[in-house]
Amino acid sequence: MEVFYAHTISPICIAFVTSLVCIIIQMQYDCIYGIYSLLAYVLVGIVLPIYISKQSRHIGVEYRKEAANLNSYVLESMCGLKESMQYMDTDRHLSGLNKQTSSLANREKELKYFQLS
């Protein structure tokens, strides 16, 4: 429970209070500065994260699936390593590992595109 409050609730409250203080200070100089700041905070803090999340949701799900598949493949390969070496089948396992790794890297590139744009 403490981790939830320390890493979720606390940063949100800090961002809200800090933004509110900045808006109040700017409004003391001129109301238009406070309104511009409020619009910028809403755009950057609410609108953009929601938009990016909706745009990249399906890629994130596919990325997690492929990461899980890669983990399973590596574990299965490690468990059957003795048999693979015995029957000289290591090249097939290596090519499968390379294929899954490159697929996961491509998904990661797609996901980073949404995070950076």
Beta-strand (E) ranges in the chain?
Answer: none
Flag the least confident range among 37-51, 58-72, 79-93. 79-93
At 27-59, the pLDDT tens digits run 999 999 999 999 999 999 999 889 888 887 888
The tokens describing 7, both together, are 């890493």
**What type of residue is 77?**
S
**Cα separation, 95 vs 82, whole angstroms:** 17
What is the pTM for the complete model shown? Answer: 0.58
Q: Which whole-number Å values give the CA distances from 12 to 8, 20, 37, 47, 70, in the listed order?
A: 7, 12, 17, 15, 35
